Amino acid sequence: MHSGPGVSFYTGPPSSKIASANDDRLLRAAGRSGAVPEEPMAVAQNEAQQAFTARMLERNITPLWTVGKQLVKREPEPRIPSVYWNYQRDVRPFILEAADLITAAEAHRRVLVLNNPALKHGATHTMTCAIQAIKGGEIAPAHRHSQAALRFIIEGEGAYTAVNGERIYMHPGDFIVTPAWTWHDHGKETDGVMIWLDGLDVPLVNHLGATFSDDYDGEGAFPQSRPPHDSFSRYGSGLLPLEPVTQRASPMFAYPYERTRTALENLRKANDWDACHGLKLKFANPATGDWVMPTIATFAQLLPKGFKTAQYRSTEATVVMTAEGRGKATVGDRTYTLGKNDIFVVPNWTWWQLEADDDLVLLSYSDRAVLEKLDLWREQRANEPRR
Ligand SMILES: [Fe+2]
């Protein structure tokens, strides 16, 4: 299972034909509408059986034998195809143009949503991925919603995210948390543009019918209630306040990149590489050790130059951003060249594999936090027998 950098591994069962057929099926069947593909009936019906089925149709009753395995497959089918955005080519020019075209106040949030071509809205069937920019002197006004949000910071300096009135000044590579139903606004007092990735569980929460949102009535920003970075001071040093933490989401809102990078770099010394992941850590709620948010799992990962992972798949759907370095990602039958801040989607139950041309650092988020709670998370490693 563990091996040193530069070693290549058995690449697993041929999945490209399956993945390719799945991609075509998903795009064709969804027609950008997100419709569920139709499957042939499980049991052929004679005339009397067809008439019987037809009589029940208007009463919204269906014999199970006519749908059969359409409902319960032998294993998961990817819900979406993979998709990739080159940050410099596909994203950055548009977000900079948006910064000139519309103010943050006008737009409420100056956000460009990166959509999976098989979905109306969403990078995966459970998560959104978007790019937000703010300019000097702007405030993106306070609001709150039942969706949880994360930020992976891309470029710029001097902007903050405020969570319930606590400002967190952001730096490239930082992971910032906005737990569900917390008031949050963004602002920038210095010149220049700041850009970051927003990841939210919008499709999941909408699917569950649990969406609420509120705009703050006051003047733009929520009143400052605590000193900047207060939550990091209380929860980020290995010490905790004596009072119990009652909320499920992390009470700490900032995971600075410097600390993430140092942790990964120090672990490199142990040379304890996982064949499928290199070095991969989860961002954790310091009060519980659980995921930072109840619905979104977040990760930081280091692959040393020359490392090629074994193929891997799991039931989670993941959005990945390159924080540093260069490499390649093969997802199903597609291979993406990765540069700084490029973004790609790994659908559920799809083989994927990474290769590092330089030391490669990835930040990612998925629905694993939900799947684990429901006992639905499962993985398969091509370098090990199936469990
Ligand atoms: Fe928001």
Ligand 1 centroid–CA 71 distance in Å is 35
Q: Report whether pLDDT(175) > 60.
A: yes
Tokens representing 230 are 């207060």
Which pLDDT does position 139 carry in this prediction?
93
Half-sphere CA count of 349, side-chain side, radius 13 A: 17
* pTM (2 d.p.): 0.89
Q: Output the pLDDT for position 141.
A: 93
Query: Quick one: which H or E segment has residue 346?
Result: strand 343-346
Q: What is the DSSP letter of 304?
A: -
Tell how far the Cα of 9 is from the centroid of ligand 1, in angstroms. 42
Residue-wise pLDDT for 39-83, tens only, equals 454 678 899 999 999 999 999 999 998 887 788 889 999 999 999
Question: What local confidence, expressed as pLDDT, does residue 26 receive?
Answer: 56
CATH of 83-381, one of 2.60.120.10, 3.60.15.10, 2.60.40.2130, 2.60.40.420: 2.60.120.10
Exposure of 106 in the CB half-sphere (CA atoms within 13 A): 7
Provide, rounded to the nearest whole percent, the portion of the chain with pLDDT above 90.
81
For 139-162, what is each residue's pLDDT tens digit?
Answer: 999 999 999 999 999 999 999 999
6 pLDDT more than 60: no
For residue 124, the CA-to-ligand 1 centroid distance in Å is 18
Beta bridge partners of 2: 274
Tell how far the Cα of 300 is from the centroid of ligand 1, in angstroms. 23
CA of 145 to the centre of ligand 1 (A): 7
How confident is residue 13, by pLDDT bands cut at 50, 70 and 90? very low
For 279-304, b/e burial (b = at least 16 CB within 10 A) is: bbeebebbbeebbbbbbbbbbbbbbb
In this prediction, residue 105 has a pLDDT band, given cuts at 50, 70 and 90, of: confident
Per-residue pLDDT of 211-225, as tens digits, reads 999 999 877 889 999
Look at residue 271 in the predicted model and tell me its pLDDT: 86
pLDDT (tens digit per residue) in 254-291 = 999 999 999 999 999 998 999 999 999 999 999 999 99
Residue 305 CA to ligand 1 center (angstroms) comes to 37
What is the DSSP pairing of strand 111-113 with strand 149-155?
unpaired
For residue 124, what are its two tokens? 């995966």
Ligand 1 centroid to Cα of residue 148, in Å, is: 8
Give the Å distance between the CA of 118 and the centre of ligand 1: 24
CA 105 to ligand 1 center in whole angstroms: 14
* Sequence-ordered alpha helix ranges (H) in the chain: 16-30, 47-57, 92-101, 104-107, 202-207, 230-235, 257-268, 368-373
Contact 93, 354 (CB under 8 A): no
The rounded Å distance from CA 215 to ligand 1 centre is 10
Query: Domain spans of the chain?
Result: 83-381
Q: Which is it for the CA torsion 355, 359, 360, 363, positive or negative? A: positive
User: Across all residues in the chain, what is the average pLDDT?
Assistant: 90
Selection from 294, 318, 285 nearest residue 370 by Cα: 294
Q: How far is the CA of 144 from the centre of ligand 1 (A)?
A: 6
CA of 370 to the centre of ligand 1 (A): 20
Query: Ligand 1 centre and the CA of 78: distance in Å?
Result: 28
pLDDT at 164 over 70: yes
pLDDT of residue 331: 98
